[in-house]
Structure 1
Amino acid sequence: MTSSPLPHPRICVVGGGPAGLTCARVLQQRGIEVTVYDADDAVDSRDLGGTLDLHADSGQIALADAGLTDAFRALARPQGQAMTRRDHHGTLLGEFTPAPEDTAAPEIDRGQLRRLLHDHLRPGTVRWGKKLVRTTGLTGRAHRLEFADGSTVDADLVIGADGAWSKVRPLVSDAAPQFLGVCFLDARFDEVRHPEVAALVGDGHLFANDNDGRAVILQRNSNGVVRGYLAFRAEFDWHLAAGVDLADRAGLRAHLAAEFGHWSAPMRALIVRNDGDYVPRSFWALPAPLSWAHVPGVTLIGDAAHLMAPFGGHGANLAMLDGAELALALADDPSRYDQAVGRHESDMFARSGALAASANQALHDFFASTTPDAPHLPPDHAQEHRDYLARAAAHRRERARRAGATAAGPAS
């Protein structure tokens, strides 16, 4: 027997990243109350990493749903779409320069995006310093959230937007992230201090790799910063076996200089001349494609639902689209929100599954050993941008079709 609908569900979002904040913004734009809980102390209490390209077929659609297109364009860097590919000797393998009117995937710093989304929510929407430790089911569809500070909150709908190590995910799936065998060291360069680095990176991104699973990926960020990622195949605790103290910058640089010793001198400068410490990162992914049987009163979006490798830049884009699409589904049928959530989940599975699998495979292929005469060539970025725009148009057509079908009602 189906339980009676709740006309005004208590909605709690766990996670104040792109997925959760986008969802909350779109809900508020449509008159639906929502509260977001996040473990961080404040919106800017930690370094979120480098830059993101927001795709026309996903992230930009979500921003339009949130009424934030103009605010995004004021911060975005269309010139950041530029790409250069070199080998470990510095030989140019390929490059892409976007046309002046190309807005298929402009760049924005992760911190700027979070601040943009947060600042367009009603004050007090996000409760900072709320680390979720447990979620338990109550009578009916409700769940209780228990936080590390001892407080609890009851919700009719819990939206898990709490990332890779989601505390909400176990309510719907026993899937857990798996290590992808690749580690990064995040490094920063002040372009004024390092004009040679800035020149190599240009307006956008530089990708350089050798034939044995080592790579350098540099990104132009805002405010005169170049962000670099030194990447290599290794176990996530590689530094222990190597006897390297990650907090010892000089010792770590000596280790990297040896590991990348066969790279040319100008390319080695990208590895050992950074400003500040290296920040270790490792890459994990959920099994892809991932789905689950709908559980009343709870759902997942973003990395909590489809954590994937960063290749292709789909993760944050899909996360934002998840948040917007879920909010729109709830706004369309707020009195029967569980049915709306179930339909959204089906759409999300179809949208994210293949992209997650392809991103994970792309990362594996990029860091696989190759022969000198068969290097991994750069993707066709111009074609990628045409694909983003084509999929964006198709997405708008599908939305219009659904809206028309809903307005027409059932056939008599």
Structure 2
Amino acid sequence: MDAIDVNDVNDVNKKPRIAVVGGGIGGLVLAGMLDRQGTAATVYERDTGIDARAQGGSLDLHPESGQRALEELGLADAFQAEARPEGEALRILDPAGNTVMEHAPEPGSGSRPEIDRGALRKLLMSRVPDSAMSWGRQLTGTEELSAGGHRLFFADGSRTDCDLLVGADGGRSRIRALLTDAQPAHLSAYLQLTILDADRRQPHVAEFVGPGSLMALGNNLNLGAQRSGDGSIRVSVTIRTDAGWIDRQHFGNAEWADTVARLHGLFPDWAPELTGLIDACDPGSLIGRNIDALPVGTRWQSRPDVTLLGDAAHLMPPVGDGANQAMLDGILLARAITENNDDPAAAVTAYEAEMFDRTAEIAEGSARMEKMGLAPDAAERLTSFFD
């Protein structure tokens, strides 16, 4: 017999049961804000713990979204202690290695400081009660209940019932299909490599990258490098190609020297100081994934028992807006639930109406940025945009 969570026991006096599938940034903001407002929720996360896997690179948090969420959670001071204002520095170069745009804000003048994703997630966890986190719970399916709500099934054989189901489960959301048949479209292939302890082990590369990020753009390619707070540099290659390109490369089965040679082959005639970023990366550090995005303006008919936030709702190209909007989603959904505590339909409708309009405009801008960034003359286009 399947194991059943204790929250499946019927209790007519119990408040609505809220299940958040996904313990990423948006899901944690939602759970933390609900707890702050006196509303219980349970986060079901497939990771076995906060340190179960690497959390990716740095994020720049925007005042009107990501930073606003942290302020409402009472984490503004903690964020300032972890953030790196110098991470806002950005250089854009062309394939010849010429700097065509440089942004280096004066100390204290920047508005979008960087923070490592792992550090941010730990900050948000400080606002989520231990009892609200259910780790190691990989969702395998859902079932609508005749009395309303949903039953969730997990890979460990357990199940749980909820009255309101929130899909915070990312771009490949399983919950999304309960609301819409919209599917993400493929945009590009993304490869990430790492240089650990860069200042000590690769000082010339560290000096070239600087305190923030650089992007070398052109010929439908993007070669980037970004500082992280742990002393590493993440080097990235983004290429406009089909969805099967990464699998056909068999990078994981190749000798490292062959992998480096093939990566160099993507950048013929590019400046050696740019392609040297690839040479400096740690052997075996390459990770590849496809970049996808939902159609701009994706909407659905509201339901009182299920909704989405973050990438599950509005997957965008990774140009700096997705995580910020997920955090704002979490704050605004928590507020709607609390303000309409006895009317979940009204809560979901109010949240989604605002979220649809807000993120459609931002997703449109993100799509334009993504197209510019992988255009043949991307460096010139982005320079004009920033100017």
- Could you list the per-position Cα deviations for residues 35-94 of structure 1 after superposition, in whole angstroms to 9, with x for gaps in the alignment? 100111111211221100000010011111111111111101111111111112211111
How far 1:110 moved relative to its partner? 0.8
1:130 aligns with 2:137: yes
Cα distance, 1:352–1:247 mapped onto 2, change above 3 Å: farther
* Native 8 Å contact 1:246 1:252 kept in 2: no
Check conservation: 1:188, 1:225, Cα contact below 8 A: yes
Once the two structures are TM-superposed, the CA of residue 298 in structure 1 deviates from its matched residue by: 0.6
- Partner residue, 1:386: none
Among 260, 279, 285, which residue is 2:293 paired with?
Answer: 285
Report matched runs for 1:8-407 at 5 Å.
8-180=15-187, 182-189=188-195, 190-191=197-198, 192-210=200-218, 212-242=219-249, 244-245=251-252, 248-276=255-283, 277-311=285-319, 313-370=320-377, 375-378=380-383
Contact residue 78 and residue 107 of structure 1 kept, 8 A? yes
Matches of 1:258 and 1:9, distance apart in 2: 57
Task: Find the aligned partners of 2:145 and 2:110 in 1 and give their Cα distance.
Answer: 47
**Amino acid in the other structure paired with 2:67:** Q
Q: TM-score, normalised by structure 2?
A: 0.92
Change (3 A) 1:244 1:142: closer
Identity of aligned residues (%): 40
C-alpha contact 1:10 1:155 (8 A) present in aligned 2:
yes
Counterpart contact for 1:44–1:115, Cα < 8 Å: no
Shift of 1:318: 0.2
- RMSD over equivalenced CA pairs, Å: 1.9
Secondary structure at 1:144 match in 2: strand
Distance 1:7 1:337, change over 3 A: farther
Measure, in 1, the Cα distance between the counterparts of 2:359 and 2:96: 37
Deviation at 1:178, TM superposition (A): 1.1
Seen in structure 2, the aligned counterparts of structure 1 residues 287 and 246 have a Cα distance that, compared at 3 Å, is farther
Please, what TM-score do these two structures have when normalized by structure 1?
0.86
1:175 partner amino acid:
A
Tell me the alpha carbon deviations over residues 237-280 of structure 1, each in whole angstroms, 9 at most, x when there is no partner.
Answer: 21454565555322111111222131122111012220142111
More displaced stretch, 28-37 vs 362-371 = 362-371
CA shift, 1:199, in A, is 1.3
For 1:312-350, what per-residue CA distance to the aligned partner results, in whole angstroms no more than 9, with x for missing partners? Answer: x11000000000110011111211122011100000001
CA distance change for structure 1 residues 37 and 256 in 2, over 3 Å: closer, same or farther?
same
Distance in 2 separating the partners of 1:59 and 1:240: 34
